[in-house]
């Protein structure tokens, strides 16, 4: 089960597709965060969801909100995928220790060694304001994310 709303979001530092470290702490006090866990790069449902973010990036990522996506893929796989798909938001690697951040958020799938489809809206103070988890093959409703972001920004 994903961590509950109203709880402090677990901190993390992961490498993005450019092998640069990105920390949740970088945004505390500055921006809300839309944190999107997905199973694997180069897979149909994941690609569709991240392309949905890319195609609507102005709606999700603003001066007040940062999009961060996370999977257990390596930064090198993320680099190729980001270049191929034109992703201009961080694709973070939860590669090693394997799935540690997904585990901290309660969305790691132990049987398959990957993150389930966890989505979190974290406010500027680092508190989880929206949390959901879908299983592999279950797509998510991006409109629900937008509603959660609208509420946290109100």
* 46 flagged as catalytic: yes
Give dist(CA 107, CA 65) in Å, integer: 22
Long-range contacts of residues 23-28, Cβ cutoff 8 Å, at least 24 apart: 24/68, 24/122, 24/126, 27/66, 27/122, 27/124, 28/124, 28/125, 28/126
Distance from C-alpha of 118 to C-alpha of 133, rounded to nearest angstrom: 4
Facing residues of 129 across strands? Answer: none
The residue count of the chain comes to 154
Catalytic, out of 14, 46, 50, 101 = 46
Angstrom distance (rounded) from CA 58 to CA 110: 34
Catalytic residue IDs: 46
């Amino acid at each position: 089960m994903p961590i509950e709303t109203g709880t402090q979001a677990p901190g993390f530092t992961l490498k993005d597709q450019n092998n640069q470290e990105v920390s949740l702490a970088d945004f505390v006090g500055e921006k809300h965060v839309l944190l999107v866990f997905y199973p694997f790069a180069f897979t149909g449902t994941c690609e569709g969801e991240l392309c949905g973010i890319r195609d609507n990036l102005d709606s999700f990522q603003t001066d007040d909100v940062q999009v961060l996506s996370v999977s257990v893929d390596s930064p090198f796989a993320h680099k190729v995928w980001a270049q191929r798909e034109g992703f201009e938001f961080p694709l973070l690697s939860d590669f090693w220790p394997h799935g540690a951040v997904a585990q901290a958020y309660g969305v790691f799938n132990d049987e398959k060694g990957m993150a389930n489809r966890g989505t979190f809206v974290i406010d500027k103070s680092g508190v989880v304001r929206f949390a959901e988890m879908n299983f592999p093959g279950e797509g998510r409703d991006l409109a629900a994310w937008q509603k959660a972001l609208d509420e946290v920004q109100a």
